[in-house]
Amino acid sequence: MKKDTVCRMCSSCCPVEVEVVAGKLVSAQRKSFLDQDKRSPCLKLQAAADIVYSDQRITTPLIRAKDGSFCPASWDEALDLVASRFLHYKQQAQPEAVGWLRGMAADWGAPWDYANRLMNCYGSPNTIGNGSICFVAREMAHTYTYGAMAFPEAARARCILVWGKHDADTTLGVADAIKHALSNGAKLIVIDPIQTPLAGKADIWLQIKPGHDGLLAMAMINEIISQDLQDHAFIEGFTTGFDQLREVAGRYAIDRIAPDIWLDPQQVREAARLYATTRPACLIDGNGLDMQLDIFQSTRAVACLRGITGNIDRPGGDVLPQPIPLRPLQARDRLPAGVTPITAPYPLFNAFSETWGNQVQSCVVDAILDQKPYGLKMLVVQAGNPVVTMADSGRARRALRQLEFLVVIDLFMTRTARLADVILPAAGCFEKTQLNRAATRNNPIILQDQVIEPVGQSWPDWKIVFELGRRIGLEQEFPWPSVEAAIDDQLAPAGVTVERLRQESGGVRVEGLRHEKYLQDGFATPSGKFEFFSSRLQESGQAGVPYGDGFPESLISFGDQRQDFPLIGISGRRDIRFTNSQYRTIPALLKGEDGCVIDIHPVDAASRQIVTGDQLQVTTPRGTLTMPARVSSVVHPGSIRIAWGWGDYKAGYNLNSLTDDAVRNPVTGTPGQRTFMCRVSKV
Ligand SMILES: Nc1nc2c(c(=O)[nH]1)N[C@H]1C(S)=C(S)[C@@H](COP(=O)(O)OP(=O)(O)OC[C@H]3O[C@@H](n4cnc5c(=O)[nH]c(N)nc54)[C@H](O)[C@@H]3O)O[C@H]1N2
Ligand SMILES: Nc1nc2c(c(=O)[nH]1)N[C@H]1C(S)=C(S)[C@@H](COP(=O)(O)OP(=O)(O)OC[C@H]3O[C@@H](n4cnc5c(=O)[nH]c(N)nc54)[C@H](O)[C@@H]3O)O[C@H]1N2
Ligand code: SF4
Ligand SMILES: [Mo]
């Protein structure tokens, strides 16, 4: 039998059709507007059955015994134990000593709301996401510029500027759209320090010095304005602060900037001209900007390019979302007044959106180890593997070990789960019904619908949260007998039900797609305009215009220690076979240790007598890692690319043993996990 759902094995949220035989998932196919043979392939989806039925799945709740081993337990035993710990801190009048840390895997839509609801009603403000390193920091920069995160309408674009994103590995719907546009003759500009497959197809590829995107964005703004290529009507009618931006950008002349960031001035000029003069143009920004110390201002500068050229919210440009009206489920009003979250040092980031809340995960470690701003004693980790994925993982690990009580909700025995007191086995994406963020931010709403029964004794995340809530005295707050009832409740303002979503598996559109909504509604900023200049930022002591107060001394982790650490390390490729630290236990995907390498340029390799296959030790002031070398000119001389996501498979491959969490972006709390100074030697 064929069943429709949404795959959530990565954040792409692809609509898929699953073949189910005798109650078992057999195979799955991604849907797309492209013909079958033209669609970007997903190797994870091809291995879906291997992942779902992997013998590595955790299939019963596990409780740590006195001798340190894990003992299988019933759900009643495990949940009662977790609930008793929640109640313990409540009785001690310190519910805020309990935190809930969420990774990316169970989605940021309804599952994020449920966890927040439980914690808010319980009395702790410390539901913490990992958005400071993922796209939420970028979303904040978009929001401060034009009210929401813009989405590229690549399929209709005549020019596509891809800035730090590689959709063929990470976001297949967009990869299909790019393919389609290119086959219709669209121009392509790629800004990436790596010669990616996409860079190979580009009309112009700018191999930027890693982490220096803000400088390039300012130089491009300057060039477009000085050549008078800007969209005058849009700027005059709908923006604020253009003169200030022009003034600041004027300090960044291409001829001076380009050589410092490894670029040819003429090529940058051509890229600026091509982007500014080909309409419509969309600008696809990605995680290459995230995880950088400079994330907020660099993304603000990149976002300004959309306004300079008037490409915002136009067909084939970068469209603004039409969020679906939802009943708020987070119960923020239930938090007692005056309780500050542990993320208090990042107030702008905590408050920039109605639903994101606390996203600086590094604060969890500060709170546990340094009691800053106060101590955390118990933590629930849901759908994340922080021991591997957080910056300075040695420190993150020390913190988790120091907790009085750790609960992990996961499908697999990760390095984080191994530290837990209780492990609650979660059902995977095909085993549960869920309302994802991607489905509510933009039309249409597509349901992630359960297509098979949960494996073993695993439970869907929603059920774990609801049942735990009921056991800590929140029966009234979790009244829903099923997830369908909860989703219906949340979708009521939109007039959509789960039943209807199941009937219309292609998705339900609440409101027709509209462009140039600002003509009628303005932008959702304080001024109602596209804000090159933000008075909100200025009043909060930040630069009102990107880089209005100059560039930070160093844009890269350990930038002040260049003498001893002369190479730039780049956190590497997101391989289509894996999602962050996941899936290396699946033999069909692992294929030896294919791709687990350090790419080093022939020039840097020759001067160190390194050849492909040599074991290389990388060192930063935080730690070391050893991996095989691959001599390759995909990287620029002076930089190396280290494979990302192998730290759960083998501790010695953990890239985050190298990264730093001491210096962070002042607005978003983002550590420099993408780019850092390092040195290499042959083992
Ligand atoms: N150096 C460096 N560090 C990085 C990155 C990088 O590129 N380089 N990337 C960063 C980014 S952008 C992100 S988002 C983070 C990701 O960090 P994490 O969120 O920690 O990512 P994953 O390794 O994908 O871990 C997800 C965990 O959730 C489990 N899981 C999967 N599905 C479900 C589910 O439905 N329910 C539950 N309960 N569990 C589930 C998986 O088994 C896995 O153990 O890492 C960040 N860290
Ligand atoms: N297969 C797979 N898919 C995934 C994930 C996964 O782990 N595996 N993770 C999911 C998650 S959590 C996220 S956040 C998204 C991220 O997905 P993307 O936004 O596509 O991010 P990446 O693929 O990490 O990096 C994108 C590009 O940025 C480039 N880059 C690196 N440093 C710089 C820099 O300094 N400047 C510029 N301009 N570019 C740079 C890289 O070389 C790479 O080509 O993918 C999601 N989808
Ligand atoms: S890219 Fe692959 S793994 Fe990710 S959601 Fe789409 S089909 Fe699933
Ligand atoms: Mo992410």
Per-residue pLDDT tens over the stretch 340-390: 999 999 999 999 999 999 999 999 999 999 999 999 999 999 999 999 999
pLDDT for 230: 98
pLDDT for 109: 96
Give the domain extent around 623.
559-682
CA distance 233 to 166: 33
- Mean pLDDT (whole number) for 53-81: 98
Ligand 3: residues with CB < 6 A are: 7, 9-10, 12-14, 16, 30, 42, 44-45, 172
Same domain? For 391 and 487 the reply is yes
pLDDT for 202: 98
Q: How far is the CA of 578 from the centre of ligand 3 (A)?
A: 10
CA distance 620 to 616: 13
**pLDDT tens digits, one per residue of 44-58:** 999 999 999 999 999
pLDDT for 37: 86
Cβ-contact 514, 322 below 8 angstroms? yes
Same domain? For 268 and 193 the reply is yes
**pLDDT tens digits, one per residue of 391-441:** 999 999 999 999 999 999 999 999 999 999 999 999 999 999 999 999 998
Cβ-contact 188, 154 below 8 angstroms? no
- Stretch (H or E) spanning 28: strand 24-30
Q: How far is the CA of 508 from the centre of ligand 4 (A)?
A: 27
> Looking at ligand 1, which residue's alpha carbon is closest to its atom 37?
383
* Domain termination residue (choose one: 320, 342, 361): 320
> Looking at ligand 1, which residue's alpha carbon is closest to its atom 5?
389
Ligand 1: residues with CB < 6 A are: 103-106, 130, 133-134, 287, 291, 382-386, 389, 409-412, 414, 426, 428-429, 461, 571, 579-582, 644, 655-656, 659, 673
The total of structural domains in the chain comes to: 4
CA 12 and chain centroid, separation? 11
Cβ-contact 78, 63 below 8 angstroms? yes
Same domain? For 161 and 303 the reply is yes
CA distance 46 to 590: 13
Which CATH number characterizes residue 643's domain?
2.40.40.20
Cβ-contact 416, 430 below 8 angstroms? no
Q: Give the helix, strand, coil percentages of the chain, each rounded to 5.
A: 35, 15, 45
Which CATH number characterizes residue 100's domain?
3.40.50.740
Sign of CA dihedral 26, 434, 359, 321: positive
Q: Which residues, including other chains, have CB under 8 Å from residue 248's CB and lie 6 or more apart?
A: 218, 545, 546, 547, 548
**pLDDT tens digits, one per residue of 562-603:** 999 999 999 999 999 999 999 999 999 998 889 999 999 999
In 3D space, the residue among 449, 459, 465, 384 whose CA is nearest the CA of residue 427 turns out to be 459
Query: Band of the pLDDT at 287, cuts 50, 70, 90?
Result: very high
> Looking at ligand 3, which residue's alpha carbon is closest to its atom 3?
9
Q: What angle do CA 231, 233, 239 make, to 5 degrees?
A: 85
Residue 539 lies in a domain: no
Residues 247-250: contacts with CB under 8 Å, at least 24 apart = 248/218, 248/545, 248/546, 248/547, 248/548, 249/218, 249/219, 249/221, 249/222, 249/225, 250/222, 250/226
pLDDT for 592: 85
Residue 143 lies in a domain: no
Query: Band of the pLDDT at 553, cuts 50, 70, 90?
Result: confident
Residue 427 lies in a domain: yes
Q: Which ligand is nearest to the CA of 415?
A: 1
pLDDT for 429: 98
Same domain? For 254 and 200 the reply is yes
In 3D space, the residue among 80, 63, 16 whose CA is nearest the CA of residue 44 turns out to be 16
Instruction: Kindly state if the Cβ of 191 falls inside 6 Å of ligand 2.
Output: yes
In 3D space, the residue among 358, 360, 364, 366 whose CA is nearest the CA of residue 381 turns out to be 364
pLDDT for 61: 98
Ligand 1 pocket mutation, candidates 285, 356, 411, criterion most atoms within 8 A of CB: 411
Same domain? For 67 and 43 the reply is no
Same domain? For 159 and 295 the reply is yes
Same domain? For 387 and 282 the reply is no
Residue 160 lies in a domain: yes
Residue 511 lies in a domain: no
Share the mean pLDDT of the chain: 97
DSSP 8-state secondary structure symbol assigned to residue 258: H
* Domain termination residue (choose one: 267, 288, 320): 320
Same domain? For 677 and 658 the reply is yes
Q: How far is the CA of 13 from the centre of ligand 2 (A)?
A: 16
- Mean pLDDT (whole number) for 536-540: 97
Residue 601 lies in a domain: yes
Same domain? For 94 and 225 the reply is no
pLDDT for 141: 98
pLDDT for 211: 97
Query: Band of the pLDDT at 181, cuts 50, 70, 90?
Result: very high
DSSP 8-state secondary structure symbol assigned to residue 56: T
Same domain? For 425 and 489 the reply is yes
Q: Percent of the chain scored above 90 by pLDDT?
A: 96
Hey, how many other C-beta atoms are within 10 angstroms of the C-beta on 23?
Answer: 9
Hey, how many other C-beta atoms are within 10 angstroms of the C-beta on 422?
Answer: 22
Instruction: Kindly state if the Cβ of 13 falls inside 6 Å of ligand 2.
Output: no
In 3D space, the residue among 583, 674, 618 whose CA is nearest the CA of residue 211 turns out to be 674
Cβ-contact 128, 100 below 8 angstroms? yes
Continuous H helices in 156-264: 167-170, 172-183, 197-201, 213-226, 232-238, 242-249, 254-260
CA distance 123 to 93: 10
Q: Which atom of ligand 3 is nearest to the CA of 16?
A: 7
Q: Percent of the chain scored above 70 by pLDDT?
A: 100
Concatenating the DSSP letter of every residue in 342-373 gives: TTTT-HHHHHSSSS--B--THHHHHHHHH-SS
- Mean pLDDT (whole number) for 668-677: 98
Residues 250-256: contacts with CB under 8 Å, at least 24 apart = 250/222, 250/226, 251/218, 251/222, 252/215, 252/218, 252/219, 252/221, 252/222, 252/547, 253/219, 253/222, 254/219, 254/222, 254/223
DSSP 8-state secondary structure symbol assigned to residue 518: H
Residue 409 lies in a domain: yes
* Domain termination residue (choose one: 494, 509, 526): 494
Same domain? For 186 and 232 the reply is yes
Residue 523 lies in a domain: no
Q: How far is the CA of 166 from the centre of ligand 3 (A)?
A: 14
Which CATH number characterizes residue 8's domain?
2.20.25
pLDDT for 591: 87
CA distance 43 to 45: 5
Cβ-contact 211, 677 below 8 angstroms? no
- Strands of 224-338 (E only): list them: 239-240, 281-285, 318-319
Q: Cα dist. 645→561, 580, 650, 651 in Å? A: 26, 5, 10, 11
CA distance 4 to 16: 6
Same domain? For 567 and 432 the reply is no
pLDDT for 593: 86
> Looking at ligand 1, which residue's alpha carbon is closest to its atom 40?
383
In 3D space, the residue among 448, 502, 507, 435 whose CA is nearest the CA of residue 33 turns out to be 507
Query: Band of the pLDDT at 41, cuts 50, 70, 90?
Result: confident
Q: Which ligand is nearest to the CA of 7?
A: 3
Q: Which atom of ligand 1 is nearest to the CA of 417?
A: 44
Q: Which ligand is nearest to the CA of 197?
A: 2
